[in-house]
Amino acid sequence: MPEKDLRVELLSMTPNSLELLYAAFRQCYHAGFVADMWPRLINGEVDKEKQAEFVSKILESGHTSPIEHVSFTFAVEGISRACSHQVVRHRLASYSQQSQRYVTESDMDYILPPAIAKIPEARERFERFMEEVGSAYKDLREILVNAGREDKANEDARFVLPQAAETKIVITMNCRSLIHFFNLRCCQRAQWEVRKMADEMLKICKDNFPAIFRYAGASCEQLGYCPEAERFACGRYPTLKQLTAK
């Protein structure tokens, strides 16, 4: 049962994403039918820099709904079940997660929190418990199989697995949902593991679609102030109350 590291890979993004958003934004302010300009867009007859500039300008006005037409799909491994439970609370997304019911966890990988890893006695106790869990899982599964419950052994034995158990998941979000996800999960107040995952996803988004994600990140980085109450603020940015105080 080895410790597992985070890995985030981009599987897919909407083809012709810039052209699609340009067309969607243009339709909102254009009397004609954007399908008529679509061939020119995908054939490169309209300058991409001008498209990106137009999209960025409209976004600055607060008009963001058209960016929902473009989505990203990520494959993620090396996160804990504790982390995945936080991620799936973001409802405007699609998820396909590795099942503990169908995948045998006899050689379960796990996630080791950094705060535990740096304290020798804490790490030793944590790793010893992971071994105990692994042994209990194997014993229970074997007992269930021997009792004639082989096809259901995994789904019952999994009840002893910890939140530290490593999981793999495929995530699809549109750009608007991703920006909201980054607002919350790139924040210093977010739990360390989901923040690490969000930071990796944000790097990928910035590399692949800078016109949309150039300024994406924690809410404070976009607003210029911390939207949290003072008792929750990390201090990187002043709170709104501090900014407006007379």
Q: Provide the H-helix boundaries in the chain.
A: 17-29, 38-42, 48-60, 81-87, 114-117, 120-146, 153-157, 175-185, 192-208, 210-213, 219-223, 240-244
Confidence (pLDDT) at 235: 87
Residues of the chain with pLDDT under 50: none
CB 190 within 8 A of CB 198: yes
CB 204 within 8 A of CB 134: no
Confidence (pLDDT) at 246: 61
Confidence (pLDDT) at 129: 97
Confidence (pLDDT) at 136: 97
Confidence (pLDDT) at 202: 98
Residues with catalytic annotation? 185
Q: What share of the chain is helix, strand, coil (3-state, %, to 5)?
A: 55, 15, 35
